[in-house]
Amino acid sequence: MKVEAMNDCCASPAGNGNDQYDLVVVGAGSAGFSAAITAAGQGAQVALVGNGTIGGTCVNIGCVPSKTLIRAAETVHHANIASTRFDGIESRARMVDWAAQIAQKDALVASLRQTKYADLLPEYNNVAYREGQARLVAGGIDVGGQRLVSDRIIIATGARPALPAIPGLAEVVPLDSTTALSLTELPRSMIVLGGGYVGVELAQTFARVGVAVTLVFRSRLLPEAEPEIGQALAGYLADEGITIVRGVTYDVVRKTDDDGVALAITRNGSPEILTAERILVATGRTPNTEGLGLSEAGVVQTSSGAIVVDDRMRTSKAGVYAVGDVTGKDQFVYMAAYGAKLAAKNALNSNSLRYDNTAMPAVVFTDPQVASVGLTEAQARAAGHPVRTSVLSLDNVPRALAARDTRGLIKLVADGATRKLLGAHILAPEGADSIQTAALAIRCGLSIDDLSEMIFPYLTTVEGLKLAAQTFDRDVKKLSCCAG
């Protein structure tokens, strides 16, 4: 079964001979599939409703396409700086065919969409796929005039890039994270609006393949990260030639005479004009709730349109659940899938499972990578903990010294009384692959003493967690290799 946007010709029967289901799932992305597969595994008859390209954000326009292009740009950059790190090496690289990269990315996306989504549907006889705009109605869901009857519904319709209210922005046809990843020709210059994880990832990627990038944001880089990490990363991006413009207000956007873009800003009370060939907006996302009939059904939403849920993933309407990006919380694909599993089990059983993001790891795929889990220092203090922190620069980590790349730091947050680990925050070239150790430590209630005494493999980035834990009470510069 080869599909792009699945339609009724591809829909599978529910197995019950009518349009009554134990559960209807609206949204055929990662969260929707997670909910449907979980419910099917419990023997439920499920209707899965999609609208457009199957697979949702992550595989089609989010995680998969961005990370493969990030790695391509990273390869170019590392080849160009190899001689500055290692003696006796001479290498150069450049992006000569961006369209070829986009084609390769599209092939990967199509393959994963087929194998991980479309091809899975025939494996579940008790999941019926329906294509069309869904709307909540009395007793179930209406899809293009067809009534799917169920008293248990999960909404997993995701979110899309949001356009901020800046005068003139819409008229210049701005790029967003979706359209930027589909460009077949690179612009000469680009303004990237937004200092969050999407903005910094894309700014660095385009800069590394030859685009002159100006990164503009209102407050500070990665505002949800520890300040030490955002500040250090901003410096590393500037070292790569990215122009960093922070602490601004956006005034107006207009086209220039050469068909480029001009962004008028105010910084420190003074007006400025930034110009580029294109502007990329990465300032947030908005939930996909249009046409669902939420207000008519009595489903409460936030002022931004996100569906309000409790810790069981229940909305304000009995029998209706919501999961993933449409709720506006924890917008990571793995958290969407996790919440969807809980919602499916709660809907079919006794609503006993609670959503818990205490040990949720988060990663920003810049270089160096940003990875975090648990509480920041500010959050820990706000929660009333007697906070202690340690900050370890990567020049104290043998792996970084051997790799001749000491960019970054590790910050641990602990309770000063119990010594329990509350948070871990890593800025390191291989930080993403280290954060799960800290996530397990927090989940299991380990202390900084447990981390200090744990055996770690030498010459790994994750060994930095042990060294950062030891830094609470001693100077690790005075330890020999593997000592302590």
Residue 483 pLDDT more than 90?
no
Contact 38, 15 (CB under 8 A): no
pLDDT for 480 equals 78
Instruction: Report how far residue 112's alpha carbon sits from residue 62's, in angstroms, rounded to the nearest whole number.
Output: 13
Q: What's the CATH fold of domain 170-283? A: FAD/NAD(P)-binding domain (3.50.50)
Identify the residue whose tokens are 């506006």. Answer: 328
Instruction: Please give the Cα distance from 326 to 336 (Å, whole number).
Output: 9
Residue 412 is classified by DSSP as E
What span, in angstroms and rounded, lies between the C-alpha atoms of 417 and 442? 16
Give the HSE-up count for residue 371: Cα atoms under 13 Å, Cβ half-sphere: 22
First-to-last CA distance in the chain? 58
Cα gap 230→168, rounded to integer Å: 30
Q: Tell me: pLDDT of 14 over 90.
A: no
Question: How confident is the model at residue 484, as a pLDDT?
Answer: 59
| Cα-based distances in Å from 469 to 350, 410, 427, 466 | 41, 10, 16, 5
pLDDT at 70 over 90: yes
DSSP bridge pairs for 270: 267
Residues making up the annotated binding site for FAD are 67, 325
Question: Measuring CA to CA, which residue among 393, 363, 380 is closest to residue 420?
Answer: 380
Q: Which residues contact 219 (CB under 8 A, 6 or more apart)?
A: 195, 246, 247
Average model confidence (pLDDT) across the chain = 94
Could you tell me if 12 and 120 are in contact, meaning their C-beta atoms sit under 8 angstroms apart?
no
Residue 185 tokens read as 């020709």
Short-list 434, 436, 455, 452, CA closest to 444:
436
Helices (H), 122-221: 177-180, 197-208
How do residues 354-401 score in pLDDT, each as one tens digit?
999 999 999 999 999 999 999 999 999 999 999 999 999 999 999 999
Query: Which amino acid is it at 164?
Result: P
CATH architecture classification, 362-478: 2-Layer Sandwich (3.30)
Q: Identify the H or E element spanning 148.
A: strand 146-149
- Segment 385-394, tens digit of pLDDT: 999 999 999 9
Residue identified by tokens 């110009």 is: 275
Number of H helices, E strands in the chain: 14, 22
362-478 matches 8-55+117-161+286-348 in CATH topology: no
Measured distance CA(143)–CA(132) in Å, rounded = 6
Single-letter amino acid code for the residue at 410: I
As annotated, the binding site for NAD(+) includes 194-201, 284
Q: Is the pLDDT score of 38 beyond 70?
A: yes
Q: CATH for 8-55+117-161+286-348, among 3.30.460.90, 3.50.50.60, 3.40.30.10, 3.40.1590.10?
A: 3.50.50.60
- Nearest in space to 59 (alpha carbons), one of 19, 91, 32: 32
Binding residues: 67, 194-201, 284, 325
Mean pLDDT of 124-151: 96
Q: Where are the domains of the chain?
A: 8-55+117-161+286-348, 170-283, 362-478
Q: What is the pLDDT of residues 187-232, one digit of tens each?
A: 999 999 999 999 999 999 999 999 999 999 999 999 999 999 999 9
Checking if the pLDDT of 174 tops 80, the result is yes
Q: Which helix (H) or strand (E) holds 274?
A: strand 270-276
The percent of residues above 90 in pLDDT, for the chain, comes to 94
Instruction: Please list, in sequence order, all residues whose beta carbon lies within 8 angstroms of the beta carbon of residue 94, skipping any fewer than 6 positions away.
Output: 76, 80, 210
